[in-house]
Amino acid sequence: MVAGIGVTFCLGATVPQSPPEPLRPVEVTLHRFDRKPGSEATFREWIDYLRSHHREAVATLGRERTYFEAMFTAPDEPSRLYWLEVKGAGGKPVESSNHELDRRHIAYMDAVLIKGSHARLQTENVLVPDFIVRAVAAEQREER
């Protein structure tokens, strides 16, 4: 089901030849941001920080109900950042977190990204294999 920007799909236990039982919706969204001129060193510092605190960063995703997040750059667009996220309904915004990693993450975003440049790209299609649907549905059941 397409819901505005992004593609929303419902998750649940799947049985061959029958549709999944709906749980909470999950949205797959690609975000695009413009980076501030001269911010390359700070951007690299941000990425290095996230990599060196990988386990801690992953641990912060639960309160946001984010199941997957990835950042991308393109050699032909050096001033752009793309951010892919797979997120469940009902998560808390990163801005509401008191976690040190989240506070630093927001500070890096403010230092690197141009305010007002955020765009949510239109998702046209999402293919999700059953094993991922089952894994996210199991996670959603635990969140209840």
End-to-end CA distance of the chain: 23
Q: Residue 130, CB half-sphere, CA atoms under 13 Å: how many?
A: 9
pTM, full prediction: 0.80
* Confidence (pLDDT) at 136: 87
Of residues 106 and 12, more confidence is placed in 106
Average pLDDT, the chain: 85
Query: Would you state the structure tokens that stand for residue 45, as one six-digit string?
Result: 């510092």
List, for residues 60-116, the tens digit of each pLDDT value: 999 999 999 999 999 999 999 999 999 988 889 999 999 999 999 999 999 999 999
Q: Is residue 92 included in any domain, yes or no?
A: yes
Closest CA to 26 of 91, 119, 115: 91
Assigned domain for 2 exists: no
Residue 76 in domain: yes
Task: Supply the range of the domain harboring residue 127.
Answer: 7-13+23-143
Q: Is residue 134 part of a domain?
A: yes
Separation between Cα atoms, residue 43 and residue 46, nearest integer Å: 5
